[in-house]
Structure 1
Amino acid sequence: MKLLIQRARRASVTVEGETIGAIDRGLVIFVCAEPGDSVEDVDFLARKAVALRIFSDTEGKMNLALGDIDGEILAVSQFTLAARWRKGNRPGFSDAAPPEEGLALFNRFVETLRDTGVTVATGRFGADMQVELINDGPVTLWLDGRNPV
């Protein structure tokens, strides 16, 4: 599983002109499930995202986690994070999980986030979504469950 996490002042996702998810201060997490991702992988990354100390304390140091600031999460499925781009100019997405598997893993990810007590809004899996966000910092992190650093 791959996550692109952005610290946000606010964010929303719209489908067909209707806002279906919105948050105030917190994280926007773009989520890409890959074939072979396990429930343990998904749960680990969800808990890690919530625990990351990437919000500023009173001294301006990134020392606070989502719960410390009473933050929220907007989780958006995004298979394009699995893009293969080296060969040719049109990216391929064969490294993304098939839709049925991707949906199950995305739903598990959201469920695990919610189990931590965090408020979670979502996009709509497989839909053409418009995501608006005010990036805070900017702070953007890449978490790759297969290549942790």
Structure 2
Amino acid sequence: MRALIQRVSQACVAIDGAQVGETGPGLLILICAMAGDGPDAPARMAAKIAKLRIFKDDQGKMNLSLLDTHRSALIVSQFTLAGDTSRGNRPGFSSAAPPDDGRAAYEAFVAEVEKLGITTATGQFGADMAVTLTNDGPVTLWLEV
């Protein structure tokens, strides 16, 4: 799995102009299932993200995790994270998981994050979505498991 995470003060996702998910202070997680991901990838990615120390402590240092701060997450499927531009200017997406596998991995990832006690909101798998956010920091990280 691949994820692009952004520490946000707020983020929301809309489909056809209707808001379907939002978060206040916390994380926007753009997530992509990759071809060949093992069945444990969603749980490993969820645990990694939940424990990342990217929130400020009382001294202003990035020392606290999503679990420590009890903040929420907006999780949006994003197959374009699998984009490969090594052979030209048009991205190829053959390294992304097939749609059915991608949907299952996305849903499993959301379930794993929720199992950790993190309040979540989501977009809709496969939909054309508009995501807005206010990046806090900015803090943006690329993760792979």
TM range (shorter): over 0.9
Instruction: Tell me the distance in 1 between the aligned counterparts of 2:37 and 2:85.
Output: 22
Is the 8 Å Cα contact of residues 39 and 108 (structure 1) preserved in structure 2? no
Which has the higher mean CA deviation after the structures are superposed, 66-75 or 78-87?
66-75
- The residue number in structure 1 matching 2:45 is 45
Which residues of 2 match residues 119-138 of structure 1 at below 5 A? 119-138=119-138
Instruction: Report Cα offsets for 1:43-77 as digits up to 9, x if no partner.
Output: 01101101111000111100111122220000000
Q: Match of 1:108?
A: 108
Q: Distance in 1 between matches of 2:120 and 2:56?
A: 21
| Correspondence 1:31 to 2:2 | no
Q: Does 1:90 align with 2:90?
A: yes
* SS at 2:40 equivalent: helix
Separation (CA, whole Å) in 2 of partners of 1:13 and 1:102: 19
Identity %: 51
AA aligned opposite 1:11? A
Q: CA deviation at 1:39?
A: 2.2
The one-letter code sitting in structure 2 at the alignment partner of 1:116 is L
Structure 1: tracts of 5 or more residues without a match: none
Which amino acid counterpart does residue 42 of structure 1 have in structure 2?
Answer: P
SS of corresponding position for 2:7:
strand
CA root-mean-square deviation: 0.7
What is aligned with 2:99?
99
Q: Distance in 1 between the 2:123 and 2:56 partners?
A: 27
Segments of 5+ residues of structure 2 without an aligned counterpart are none
**Normalized against structure 2, the TM-score is what?**
0.97
TM-score, normalised by the number of residues in structure 1: 0.95
Matched AA of 2:43 = D
CA distance in 2, matches of 1:34, 1:100: 12
Shift, 1:3, TM fit: 0.6
> CA separation in 1, counterparts of 2:70 and 2:42?
23
Aligned to 2:59: 59
Give CA deviations for 1:83-136 in whole Å, capped at 9, x if unaligned.
Answer: 110112111111101110000000000000000010010001000000000000
